[in-house]
Chain A
């Protein structure tokens, strides 16, 4: 699966680097001084790289944990995100990563302990309010678990720190790491969904909706709190029928008590990302949708966005209490996808 590994010369002796190199003994190894020498140059084709991404092993320096606007939260007031990994195994046509990153290579930051120390520091800043840490902003938290060992390393860490909350956001069905651990009340596994008809058009390399629902049901029965992320909402033919059916499938697969939170998010990306995404896939029907520019973002026309969002909110409230429903709200100046 991984045929080329770039590594920062400074991380060659790191145990996690050594583990990777042992795991892929036949990979071509290419040293670099800084991961950005490979990842950042302009003029790379994200689309072509996506066919065979390389793995880049690096050390993340500087600020490792970043604040998240409170409007993106799922009930907490202290919200942070961190990125141990850049890029994703999957290839969702709506994903903002393809507009944000110059490269489709996976960058794995091997200095997990530095992330943990920073999480600990943030958590200890407040003893009365829990701190939420979102791990799936720049990647899928679990899809590359076999390579990264991320959850395997972080679950025991969070097990000892109940005031620190972790969201694993994923479209993966490979949940072995969760199945083999004791469920943790402070770790929410959040699954993103679009209706089946959209998933098959737009979510390339992603397991089918039914497989994901089955996998989600399995870990819910084991006691893991589940998050549902209806994000991004995609306008389409028979929108109401398709989303109503999706909700029916989701809520029949898991018991209400297992649901920690449900969030709704509209499709909204910065203009520059959208242009890049459109240039990468000029033949993609998604990008011919009824969009408009608002501030620095592009999203569905306001009336469509409101109508679709209101419909989903009302439908979801047939299944869950209001306190479990969260809107990923965006202003015209920021973005969320």
Chain B
């Protein structure tokens, strides 16, 4: 699970809650535990885009969950209210529609990303400075269903951004965690359904290390091992079959012979 948050004050409650420890400061401050990573991007679209890329390159597993989290202005919602973006608008980027498949108690609303803070709130939607760049870039590394934006209202027409007390940021976020944590848990849960099987990845690596396979053969090995698993053969049975060959070609034939009798649908 990857979090991209603009400022430390916004990230503090998540860092504490997940007991994340600082792993690096350059080019972005990065906090981690075994399952969660949080990068502090700094404000603005450009930094947000770079922070996503940095995190994705550091942890290149496909189909991870990504959450852009922090404070935002809103045209109608009251200060302290948490909301889930259902449309992320931008004056330059295409509109991004984060898929709404998780049950939650968050308000659902559109969010417009601007290059600088707004002093007015022309529409009944959220306003921030990062989400559009976050979505556009995160979608290069994961499926759209796992890319979400949750914000907490820090300012609105009654409490304009100039009057916002920055020291209250952590408290605003802390107060919303009871709504946000279940959402994060669900996001993590669904991401597991589309993550590649680590067991299969390990098996493929083991078999590929047996012989010098050509690129086409490597593709065939991956396919056969996937099928072996699908038809109910254990990793050991597949490994033993591949090991019975004396060359890459023979290993493939042995695997094929092992899998073929099981291909009929039960």
Contact = CB atoms under 8 A, between A and B. Distances in A.
Interface of A: 3-4, 6, 28, 30-32, 37-38, 41, 43-45, 47-49, 51-52, 54, 197-198, 201, 234-237, 282-290
Nearest to A304: B264
A235 B265 CA distance: 7
Contacts, number: 98
B246 to A, nearest CB: 26
14 contacts: A6-B97, A30-B97, A30-B100, A32-B87, A38-B97, A43-B142, A45-B63, A45-B146, A51-B190, A52-B100, A198-B265, A285-B231, A285-B265, A288-B262
Contact of B144 (A6, A45, A51): A45
Q: Please report whether the interface of chain A is mostly helix, strand, loop or mixed according to DSSP.
A: mixed
A234 B86 contact: no
Q: Please report whether the interface of chain B is mostly helix, strand, loop or mixed according to DSSP.
A: mixed
B176 interface: no
B132 to A, nearest CB: 14
Contacts of A45: 63, 143-146, 194
A201 B266 contact: yes
B193 A47 contact: yes
A146 to B, nearest CB: 21
Interface of B: 63, 86-87, 94-95, 97, 99-101, 108, 110, 139, 142-146, 190, 193-194, 196-197, 200, 226-227, 229-231, 259-260, 262-266
A30 B87 contact: yes
A236 B264 contact: yes
Given A47-B193, A48-B145, A283-B229, A236 B101 contact: no
A46 B27 CA distance: 35
A198 B229 CA distance: 20
A287 B263 CA distance: 9
Contacts of A48: 99, 101, 143, 145-146, 190, 193-194
A201 B226 contact: no
A198 B264 CA distance: 12
Given A44-B145, A47-B193, A48-B101, A283 B265 contact: no
A44 B87 contact: no
Q: Which of A48, A283, A289 has the most CB of B within 10 A?
A: A48
B254 to A, nearest CB: 17
B266 A30 contact: no
B230 A284 contact: yes
Contacts of B145: 44-45, 48-49
Task: Give the 3 A-B residue pairs with the shortest CB-CB distance, closest first.
Answer: A288-B227, A45-B143, A236-B265
B265 A286 contact: yes
A289 B139 contact: no
Nearest to A28: B108
A237 B262 CA distance: 10
Contacts of A49: 99, 101, 145
